[in-house]
Amino acid sequence: MKSLILALVCLQLSDALMYRVPLTKGKSARDTLREQGLLDDFLREHYSDPCAKFDGLTGVASLSSTEPMINFLDLSYYGTISIGNPPQSFTVIFDTGSSNLWVPSVYCSDAPCSNHTRFYPSSSSTYRSNNERVAIQYGTGSMTGILGYDTLRVSDITIRGQELGLSLTELADSSTKSKFDGILGMGYQSLSAEGATTVLHNMISQQVISEPLFSVYLTRVDGESGSEIIFGGVDPSHYQGSINWVPVTHQAYWQIEIQRVTVNGQVVACSEGCPAIIDTGTSLLVGPTNAITNIQQAVGATPGSYGQYNINCNDLSSMPDVVFTINGNDFTLPATAYALKSTYNYQVSCMSGFGDTGSNLWILGDVFIGEYYSIFDRGNNRVGLAKAV
């Protein structure tokens, strides 16, 4: 989240400066849950309120670093970090919809902790803590823990004395089956629980990245490699055309303003403008109930179970685009972007990537980010959007 009024040529990065890390391709978590008879329970929990986490949450060389991410069930993207000396490795969600870093710890015996990698403070020579407590509530669970400080490594970036939460309790049935251990929040400092210093703030203050920004590229196929977050730079090979810059209207989440939403040239939502956030930690594109219902009807989606809407996979070529007008520019989502495909026992099904929040806040999650390469410019407090390739 940083400064950038550079010409495009200044944003181009050589491979030598992008520090790419290989991705692991694994079995679809959707198929794993279905085989174990747990998919319905997972969907019931996840879709009960997909946005509840937003209620009450509280001279340098030209450097950038790329952290690969893995697409998990089209619900989250995660990558690897390490904490401590010697390093202890964890997989985390890089979440622009929150601001705290936390991982499971040896102090926690709850099922979500025991099923994941746990941090051992006594094994790190650089760990320190004043035993201050932290509590964070998410839509699909919560954590309580203590705050500590240790060395953090993200790709080839090393951050000294990073503040992090070590879980004492974790409540989330579905997280026992998740592929990630913890969460690395990339929101603004004002959103951080207990005022814990964010990873991005330390990256900037310790001058380990050359530009105060990061960019996100998401693939949209389960297990597919290529997704990545780049700290301190932008990769032009991930987008085409120009970058459209949108001012941040409220510095907590990465919040912007949508001017209107149209289908077939007709306004179906946001006729007078509406607030929205760009959130890598939300799978769907969600908004107020009435507005989302209008969109579902306009594209021909039909109601299904657990708040989902179904789409006929054979109709994608004839289904209309949904257009979001933001800062005077149109961002089009074709049916191939908002229809989420799933294959099981050789049967292909599609569900709508739109969901409702029950509030006035729109969340442009992975359905949107997968279509538009997103740059989070902290220095200029703006978001850059460009057509992903």
- Six-digit token pair at 166? 């070590």
Helix (H, G, I), strand (E, B) or coil at 83: strand
Q: Is the peptide bond before 104 cis (omega within 30 degrees of 0)?
A: no
DSSP 157-178: EEEEEEEEEEEEEEE-GGGGG-
Tokens 């403008």 sit on residue:
273
Tokens 């109709």 sit on residue:
315
For residue 219, the Cα-to-chain-centroid distance in whole angstroms is: 12
Nearest-angstrom CA–CA distance, 266 and 323 = 10
Nearest-angstrom CA–CA distance, 90 and 72 = 15
Whether residue 181 lies in the annotated active site: no
Nearest-angstrom CA–CA distance, 384 and 389 = 15
Q: Which of 150, 181, 279, 366 is the catalytic position?
A: 279
Whether residue 279 lies in the annotated active site: yes
Nearest-angstrom CA–CA distance, 225 and 228 = 9
**Residues 350, 316 contacting (CB under 8 angstroms):** yes
**Residues 339, 352 contacting (CB under 8 angstroms):** yes
Tokens 């251990």 sit on residue:
181
Q: Which of 95, 150, 366, 377 is the catalytic position?
A: 95
Q: Is the peptide bond before 86 cis (omega within 30 degrees of 0)?
A: yes
Catalytic residue positions?
Answer: 95, 279
